[in-house]
């Protein structure tokens, strides 16, 4: 059970929101959402480390609820339609805690098993049969007929509430959460969101809403929302300035998005949802948590790879030797210096050793395709280390003259010199 720290001004709006849901739940015979409020907590407000004599009052709140069930069908998840970069569409799965939805349902965001129509729908509902445990996708306009109820809107509202219960309560921890005008939903560039997320994580690390509550700090997703809000006070302006984006943040965001795109077929709903966000044309603040988690997860995996590389990478070849290598491209970055544009390319050999090539200008695209494995001829230029990882510098890199189809027959001429 999660405990939320709700500011005093937000307690009444949150309570009202849940009471409305519970009125509908009562009419349909659903179990109510239970909101438990603890004793108030007063926290002194300081400016510059000095007391101001003011206090901020919050209330510890826990909210629990069971999946709505009617006529033998229980709510399992909502499936949200999201537009991808190329104009195609994907489904973002929001399952309630404990629900296991078959992977095949991810692509059914426009379908309905009741009316058999496949058309444009913002959200559809995934329902689970209590008797057979089978799942069905039902559009909002068909819920009434499918469930044999006169008030499908109540079921839908209850279902959506439970699917986003943590987002609602976590958002309510922000003083300004209930101050929206309701004039429409703002959308944001995926790249802009990821770059800002990278800047936040670089400076403050990643903080989930759960950990933010425990540490009495602002979650990364909420800081993202703050950075997309025009600053009002001098303190707001200072905070905006502190999270100024640097070039490294842009590189991190770009790499994280490319990394997440590869999980479109993942067995994990978490990784699949990251891939949906990475391939989306734009985002709403509703998806900020996924965007921040993408950057964090990417950086964590890169750190694990680097740690593994420290144990497995060795120097190879004699300096000046011309060798033939089978390598897999891992990453690249471009640097402008007095010699012009240099592209720093990083490869992994079949023996697990790291090879770095400082290429003049922009290399052949075949040599810089992510995860692409090719056979190259190269000259050993030097042996060194980067951040504690042994790597061999190569130069004069060219695609091997043999055809790609013979790649498996090629043998990398690597000799460890460690």
- Would the pLDDT of 296 be above 90? yes
5-22 per-position pLDDT tens digit: 888 888 888 888 888 777
pLDDT in tens, 71-107: 888 888 888 777 776 777 777 887 776 678 888 888 8
Residue 281 or 384, more confident: 384
pTM for the model stands at 0.51
Report the pLDDT value the prediction gives residue 414, as an integer from 0 to 100: 61
371-417 pLDDT, tens digit each: 678 899 999 999 998 777 889 999 999 998 765 444 444 444 566 66
pLDDT for 162 beyond 80: no
- 178-182, 350-354, 397-401: range with lowest mean pLDDT: 178-182
Confidence of residue 212 (pLDDT cuts 50, 70, 90): confident
d(CA 78, CA 269): 13
Q: What is the pLDDT of residues 246-270, one digit of tens each?
A: 888 998 999 999 899 888 778 888 8
Alpha-helix runs per DSSP H in 84-151: 143-147
Contact status, residue 315 vs residue 120, Cβ threshold 8 Å: no
Percent of the chain exceeding pLDDT 70 equals: 83
Of the candidates 171, 206, 167, the residue with the CA atom closest to the CA atom of residue 292: 206
Enumerate residues 6+ apart whose C-beta is below 8 A from 376. 324, 325, 327, 367, 397, 398, 399, 400
Determine whether 127 is exposed, middle or buried from the number of CB atoms within 10 Å of its CB (0-12, 13-18, 19+). Answer: buried
Q: State the Cα–Cα distance between residues 351 and 145, nearest whole angstrom.
A: 61
What are the φ and ψ backbone dihedral angles of 122, each rounded to 5 degrees? -70, -50
pLDDT, tens digit (0-9, with 9 covering 90-100), for 230-244: 888 888 899 899 999
**pLDDT value at residue 410:** 45
Q: Are strands 389-399 and 354-360 parallel, antiparallel or unpaired?
A: parallel
What tokens were used for 273? 């949802």
pLDDT number for residue 83? 73
Taken in order of first residue, the domains within the chain and their CATH numbers are 3-65 (no CATH), 72-148 (no CATH), 188-306 (no CATH), 322-409 (2.40.50.140)
Ranking 3-7, 49-53, 180-184, 245-249 by mean pLDDT, the lowest is 180-184
């Amino acid at each position: 059970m999660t405990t939320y720290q709700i500011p005093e001004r937000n307690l009444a709006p949150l309570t009202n929101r849940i009471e409305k849901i519970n009125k509908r739940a009562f009419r349909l015979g659903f179990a109510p959402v239970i909101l438990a409020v603890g004793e108030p907590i007063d926290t002194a407000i300081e400016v510059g480390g000095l007391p101001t004599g003011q206090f901020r009052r919050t209330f510890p709140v826990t909210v629990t609820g069971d999946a709505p069930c009617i006529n033998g069908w229980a709510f399992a998840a909502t499936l949200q339609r999201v537009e991808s970069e190329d104009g195609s569409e994907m489904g973002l799965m929001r399952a309630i805690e404990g629900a296991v939805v078959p992977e095949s349902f991810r692509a059914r965001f426009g379908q309905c098993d009741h009316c058999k129509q496949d058309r444009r729908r913002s959200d559809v509902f995934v329902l689970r049969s209590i008797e057979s445990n089978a799942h069905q996708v039902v559009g909002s306009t068909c819920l009434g007929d499918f469930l044999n109820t006169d008030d499908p809107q109540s079921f839908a509202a209850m279902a959506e509430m439970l699917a986003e219960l943590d987002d609602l309560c976590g958002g309510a921890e922000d003083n300004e959460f209930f101050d929206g005008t309701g004039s429409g939903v703002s959308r944001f560039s995926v790249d802009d969101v990821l770059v800002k997320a990278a800047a936040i994580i670089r400076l403050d690390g990643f903080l989930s809403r759960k950990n933010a509550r425990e540490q009495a700090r602002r979650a990364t997703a909420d800081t993202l929302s703050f950075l997309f809000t025009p600053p009002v006070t001098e303190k707001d302006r200072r905070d905006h300035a502190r999270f100024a984006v640097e070039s490294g943040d842009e590189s991190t965001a770009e790499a994280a998005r490319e990394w997440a795109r590869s999980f479109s077929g993942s067995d994990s709903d978490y990784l699949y949802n990251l891939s949906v966000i990475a391939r989306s044309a734009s985002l709403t603040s509703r998806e900020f948590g996924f965007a921040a988690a993408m950057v964090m997860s990417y950086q964590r995996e890169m750190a694990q790879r680097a740690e593994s590389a420290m144990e497995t990478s060795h120097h190879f070849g004699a300096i000046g030797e011309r060798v033939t290598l089978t390598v897999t491209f891992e990453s690249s970055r471009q640097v402008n210096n007095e010699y012009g544009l240099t592209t720093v390319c990083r490869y992994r050999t079949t023996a697990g050793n790291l090879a770095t090539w400082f290429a003049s200008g922009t290399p052949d695209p075949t040599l810089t395709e992510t995860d692409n494995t090719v056979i190259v001829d190269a000259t050993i230029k030097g042996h060194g280390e980067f951040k504690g990882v042994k790597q061999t510098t190569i130069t004069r890199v060219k695609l091997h003259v043999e055809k790609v189809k013979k790649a498996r027959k090629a043998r990398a001429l690597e000799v460890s010199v460690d």
